[in-house]
């Protein structure tokens, strides 16, 4: 009897309303789409994003990069290792207190140059599928969620 009450509560409260569940599901679907689009280049969507963020700054400390990406530093480091291994970024320990920083390499810039039109196609495809109004609502909502911190 207790189990059926809990199940009913879950159906009412969680299944239809849980922001975390809905966002994670959407994230998996969108990530899969970008990963598939970028597969011919040999990078994934999250790697494209990291390369993009790193390329916008001369050298960014790993702590700053983790903050910009909204990631735990240890998770970021784990995700950066394949980029460093493949020569797309370099990680160095220089400067004040020898803080570790990441910098995009020429090879990384070449990959970004090749990936950018593919990323645009994936963006445009999603924008068309959702429609301009829904796209704006989703984009604005994600901006607001990202600001919650």
What does 63-128 look like in DSSP terms, one character per residue?
HHHHHHHT--HHHHHHHHHHHHHTTSEEEEE-SGGG-EEEEE-HHHHHHHHHHHHHHHHHHHHHHH
Q: What percent of the chain has pLDDT above 90? A: 66
3-state secondary structure at position 60? strand
pLDDT at 38 over 90: yes
Q: Copy the structure tokens of residue 5.
A: 């009450």
Rounded CA separation 50/69 (Å):
8
pLDDT at 103: 94
Average pLDDT, the chain: 91
Q: Say what the pTM is.
A: 0.84
Q: What is the mean pLDDT of residues 15-22?
A: 83
Contacting residues for 45 by C-beta, under 8 A, at least 6 apart: 30, 31, 33, 34, 35, 37, 38
Task: Give all domains of the chain, ordered by start, each with its CATH number.
Answer: 31-148 (1.10.10.10)
- Closest-CA residue to 107 (of 56, 53, 41): 41
pLDDT at 18: 85
Task: Find the radius of gyration of the CA atoms of the chain.
Answer: 19
pLDDT band of residue 1 (cuts 50, 70, 90) is low
Run of H or E residues at 138: helix 132-148
Give 52-105 pLDDT, tens digit per residue. Answer: 999 998 788 899 999 989 899 999 999 999 999 999 999 988 665 668 899 999
């Amino acid at each position: 009897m207790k189990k059926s009450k809990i199940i009913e509560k879950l159906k009412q409260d969680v299944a239809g309303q849980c922001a975390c569940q809905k966002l994670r599901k959407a994230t998996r679907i969108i990530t899969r789409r970008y990963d598939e689009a970028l597969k011919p280049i040999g990078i994934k969507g999250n790697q494209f994003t990291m390369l993009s963020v790193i390329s916008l700054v001369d050298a960014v400390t790993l702590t700053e990069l983790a903050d910009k990406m909204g990631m735990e530093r240890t998770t970021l480091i784990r995700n950066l290792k394949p980029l460093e291994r493949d020569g797309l970024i370099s990680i160095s320990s220089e400067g004040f207190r020898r803080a570790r920083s990441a910098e995009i390499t020429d090879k990384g810039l070449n990959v970004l140059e090749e990936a950018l039109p593919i990323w645009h196609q994936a963006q445009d495809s999603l924008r068309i599928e959702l429609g301009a109004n829904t796209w704006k609502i989703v984009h604005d909502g994600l901006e607001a969620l990202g600001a919650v911190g």
